[in-house]
């Protein structure tokens, strides 16, 4: 097999279904050996399933690729460290980490209880942090030993993390946190040969069926299914490959045949009095600044 990721080893979390499965298959198709992580839980993170990670491994192997299953909870220290060990002990190296695992517990803010908040923060934000931490520690060790890697991390945010989404306060906050984590990791880990980027995908998965119910039409006359998760994976594969050298600390929106570079917070209109404002002065100045500023994009689901 001779592809974009030939000889590389990639880890994909939440790879038993949906986007993660598509990413794992696409990476394997381009020559990567893949560690397929999935805990097999339901849409809300409860219960378990009968081995979705192994099913994806079987698909990859049937197509001539290399893959191994990992079923531990990557939002725990032991689960995340064992994920990285699995790659290194099975294939002798680690080149790319794709953080994708997640689930939903959607509620309006007044109805979100503490367990709903903590569970979503845990799987999305902590579930990104811990695998990233252990992968980064491995790559730092390699770099200090004179074996500087060509390492890649692809984190998964969301349009909800960029703009907010009504009924998804916990999810939006977690996904916004992933963007902040991505920026810090890109700045800190570059010296060790690690590039870190994030995607904000839109695709048909278990998590989005209800959200995008009105827009998830069947494929058009040309056969192109704009909401298929496989549409997002080519960007992930490229970001995980050595070919993406020089691209780090970026957020990309991906949907159908469209890729967009998202531009984050940056200074807009400003006023500097040189000394402390009074509340009245601030109140007189802020509307003038807002009149010069671009209007924010609407929160998803806002009326």
User: Which residues are identified as catalytic?
Assistant: 158, 171, 175
Centroid of chain to Cα 63: 26
> How many other CB atoms are there within 10 angstroms of residue 117's CB atom?
17
The C-alpha atoms of residue 170 and residue 45 are separated, in whole angstroms, by 14
SS3 228: coil
Tokens of 16: 């038993």
Token pair listed for 48: 């378990």
User: Closest by alpha carbon to 52, among 67, 30, 66?
Assistant: 67
Phi/psi of residue 56, each to 5°?
Answer: -70, -40
Q: Which helix (H) or strand (E) holds 11?
A: strand 9-12
């Amino acid at each position: 097999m001779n592809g974009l990721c030939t000889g590389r080893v990639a880890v994909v979390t939440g790879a038993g279904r949906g986007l993660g499965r598509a990413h794992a298959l696409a990476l394997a198709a381009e020559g990567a050996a893949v560690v397929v992580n999935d805990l097999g839980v339901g849409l809300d993170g409860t219960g378990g399933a009968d081995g979705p990670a192994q099913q994806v491994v079987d698909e990859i192997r049937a197509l001539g690729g290399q893959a191994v299953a990992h079923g531990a909870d990557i939002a725990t220290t032991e689960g995340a460290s064992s994920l990285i060990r699995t790659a290194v002990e099975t294939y002798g190296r680690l080149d790319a980490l794709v953080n994708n695992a997640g689930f939903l517990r959607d509620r309006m803010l007044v109805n979100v209880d503490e367990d709903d908040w903590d569970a979503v923060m845990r799987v999305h934000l902590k579930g990104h942090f811990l695998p990233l931490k252990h992968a980064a520690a491995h790559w730092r060790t390699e770099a200090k030993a004179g074996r500087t890697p060509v390492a890649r991390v692809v984190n998964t945010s969301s349009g909800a993390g960029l703009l907010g989404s009504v009924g998804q306060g916990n999810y939006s906050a977690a996904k916004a946190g992933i963007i902040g984590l991505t920026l810090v990791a890109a700045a800190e880990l570059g010296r060790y040969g690690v590039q870190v980027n994030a995607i904000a995908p839109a695709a048909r998965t278990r998590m989005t069926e209800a959200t995008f119910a009105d827009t998830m039409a069947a494929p058009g006359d040309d056969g192109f299914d704009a909401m298929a998760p496989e549409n997002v994976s080519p960007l992930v594969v490229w970001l995980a490959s050595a070919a993406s050298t020089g691209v780090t600390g970026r957020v990309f929106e991906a949907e159908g045949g469209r890729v967009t570079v998202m531009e984050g917070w940056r200074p807009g209109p400003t006023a500097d009095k040189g000394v402390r404002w009074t509340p009245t002065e601030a109140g007189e100045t802020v509307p003038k600044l807002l009149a010069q500023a671009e209007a924010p994009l609407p929160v998803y689901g806002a009326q």
